[in-house]
Chains A and B, each alone.
Chain A
Amino acid sequence: MPRPPLRPWLFFALLLLLLLAFALSLTLGSVEIPLEQVAHILLGGEPDKASWADILFKFRLPKAITAVLVGAALSTAGLQMQTLFRNPLADPFILGVSSGASLGVALVILGIGAGGALTFIAGLGVFGDFTLAIAASLGAGMVLGAVLLLSRRVQNTLTLLVVGLMFGYLASAVVTLLIYFSQPERVLVFSLWTAGSFGGVTWSQMRVFAPAALLGLLLGFVMMKPLNALLLGDDYARSLGLNVRRARFWIIVSASLLAGVSTAFCGPIWFIGVAVPHVARSLLNSADHRALLPASMLMGAAFALIADVIAQSPGSQHTLPLNVVMSLFGVPIILWVILRQKQLRQSFAS
């Protein structure tokens, strides 16, 4: 029987890459902690330098876990949106989730009445470090709610796409307006948020972030089979017995949950969601989501970890904005992978 080759070695290689990247992100940074010390500390041993344990547990470990989750989340959401909309340019934010989150955050950072940035930042402490995450979640949730309501009623998937884009423009317009009337200090705070970072998630935030991201990923696995049915378009999917509206609803819930929590805790991270699914398709030479989805998760997680290691510019005190690193280093790599494949066009139905 001519089954398509499954290439288990590829998954093994990806898993290895992920473990390697995870180890790297724990070792490298402004201070280098030797790998055997990392293992020693994680196993509960006493470090050579007392500060290492702190660095590891307070900063690097939550950051690495965040990177893994966000990388997997955005790759999954990107893959889902690309298949749902049959569009290679679709990304996790295409339905306006990140615009909604930006709006929420902008309202908090820029919109809170008079008073200097200092009192604002002091105010953050009162709210706890959840303020931005809550604001972003509310913004993302509002847009998501509107889109989901529509998805129940709209027959044509493409209509949803346009509606999502319009919501995005609307949110961006309000954000721009807020920036226009704000003090420069606050604009700076806001622009730092838009640069994206895995470093802001504390352990207490992790208790919300990780379960939400895992739930989204789990839902992604459940929606793998419907995604395959949707490969030939809505009509064929319906004729295969799929309830297209319901499948679309849950796919959007999963993708938006993933994109929403990522944005809420790490800011908008643009690159992974578009690029990683293409690389997965290219490497696996397949359109089967049962292979593409896990491969995208592994790849996205590894890519996020590596991008973060580079952003920390090991050995120096500087940190680069995450989105900048992803684009500067990611674009050439991904262009190379994709241009090797002749038939990007054919990867999608027109």
Chain B
Amino acid sequence: MLTASSLSIGYKTPLASNLDLELRPAELACLIGPNGVGKSTLLRTLAGMEKPLAGAVWLDGGNLHLMPSLELAKRLAVVLTGRVDAGNLSAWALVSLGRHPYTDWLGRLTVRDEAAIERAMRLTDTLVFAERPIHELSDGERQRVMIARALAQILPDSPLPPGEGLGGRAKAQLPISNYQPSNVPTFQRSNVLLLDEPTAFLDLPRRVDMLQLLKRLARETGCAILLSTHDLDLALRIADRLWLLASSGNLTTGIPEELALNGAVARLFQSEGVDFDHASGAFKVHQTVCGPISLHGDKDGVTAAWTWRALERIGYEVHDNGIRRPVHVDVMDPGRWRLTTPHGQSEHATLESLLAALQQ
């Protein structure tokens, strides 16, 4: 388990202080916060790439910053922000770089290394383009390859696959394993994966895929996974735990629904001038300029919900508590709306015509 106590992060002046945190095995945690608040610095500090200004980070009870770097590399891997461009490397070769802590001085891969590479690529569904050069891959595919690389670095050895598929040369090398057992028994060792904005370059479906993949990986491999992201919506839906880092340097952690309910999420973004709606779990992005309107109709929830959003978008304050306002919309059937105003009634077959009537 990765923990930190009274941790201060930053360069010379602290960005955040007195952080107490805990990253649990098999859980997906999302680190959320405004830009410049120190998300990357926190990740880099937890990864051992920056020294803490105060406090300490502990991995399985050992001080992470004092651990031998090869020992740490076998337990903690990172996927950094930004595109990776490594030229002629194939996806397979890139993933194989993750075996660096295990190979001999020439970097030769043993059967165990190849099995780990294959397992990491299978887990991330990247085996299909193993032989393609990474500059030919899409952003999403490349990001998955980077995750496979990180997994190949930290996943504990699984039992070797049965003899088939291993060449004669590979078999001959079998007894020579460069895997050095750590002094912590394998079953107690945590494996930690830290990702800095892994969804930054991706479109929406890819982002959903990415988070679902990471969640599945956490479950299947027992890795503790922490990623920073700007996708609050997705994080609220998929993460096992949210870490909210505010500009004040305060870190609040908890399960997403709890943090939404107790207003922690709203507070985080209020200071940034954005309102978060507890009820819908989404940001309020529209200002009301047109006064109240009442909405009725529950033939199917979907039509009413989208009508609500349309009305909000053009600036109405929408109510559906049963009290009729002077301006009122009834959803009759999907695809039929009735608008009642002090000037009379009209029926509409599309949302566009409904909004046009309201805007007159």
Contact = CB atoms under 8 A, between A and B. Distances in A.
B88 A286 contact: yes
Contacts of B71: 241
Contact of B92 (A4, A232, A242): A4
A235 B73 CA distance: 12
A236 interface: yes
B78 A288 contact: no
Most buried by B among A232, A239, A242, A243: A239
A225 B107 CA distance: 5
B198 to A, nearest CB: 14
B87 A347 contact: yes
B86 A349 contact: yes
Given A235-B49, A286-B93, A229 B100 contact: yes
Interface string B71-84: 11110111010001
Contacts of A290: 106-107
A248 to B, nearest CB: 15
A156 interface: no
B97 A228 contact: yes
Contact of B86 (A232, A235, A241, A242): A232
Contact of B69 (A232, A233, A243, A288): A243
Nearest to A290: B107
Interface centre among B47, B87, B130 (most CB of A within 10 A): B87
A322 B348 CA distance: 86
A126 interface: no
A49 interface: no
Contacts of B97: 228-229, 231-232, 236, 240
B135 interface: yes
Nearest to B111: A1
Interface string A195-225: 0000000000000000000000000011011
A281 B49 contact: no
A225 B106 contact: yes
B101 A228 contact: no
A287 B105 CA distance: 18
A238 B77 CA distance: 10
Given A224-B107, A290-B106, A241 B70 contact: yes
Interface residues of A, number: 34
Interface string B43-63: 000010100000000000000
A116 interface: no
Contacts of B80: 235-236
A349 B87 contact: yes
A212 B77 CA distance: 39
A2 interface: yes
B103 to A, nearest CB: 7
A285 B92 contact: no
A4 B131 contact: yes
B73, B88, B131: residue with the most chain A Cβ atoms closer than 10 Å: B88
Contact of A225 (B47, B105, B114): B105
Interface in A243-291: 243, 281, 284-288, 290
A281 B93 CA distance: 14
A4 B93 contact: yes
B105 to A, nearest CB: 6
A188 to B, nearest CB: 44
Contacts of A229: 97, 100
B256 to A, nearest CB: 28
A343 interface: yes
B38 interface: no
Contacts of B228: none
B98 A240 contact: yes
Nearest to B88: A287
B86 A1 contact: no
A67 B78 CA distance: 44
A350 interface: yes
B352 interface: no
A224 B106 contact: yes
Contacts of B103: 225
A241 B73 contact: yes
Interface in B94-132: 94, 97-98, 100-101, 103, 105-107, 114, 117-118, 127, 130-131
Contacts of A239: 47, 49, 73, 76-78
A281 B92 contact: no
B89 A287 contact: yes
A281 B74 CA distance: 30
11 contacts: A2-B127, A3-B114, A4-B92, A238-B69, A239-B47, A239-B49, A240-B73, A241-B100, A284-B88, A286-B89, A287-B86
Q: Which 10 A-B pairs have the closest CB atoms?
A: A241-B73, A347-B87, A225-B107, A241-B70, A346-B135, A2-B130, A349-B85, A240-B100, A287-B88, A241-B69
Given A241-B101, A281-B87, 4 more contacts: A232-B97, A235-B80, A239-B73, A240-B97
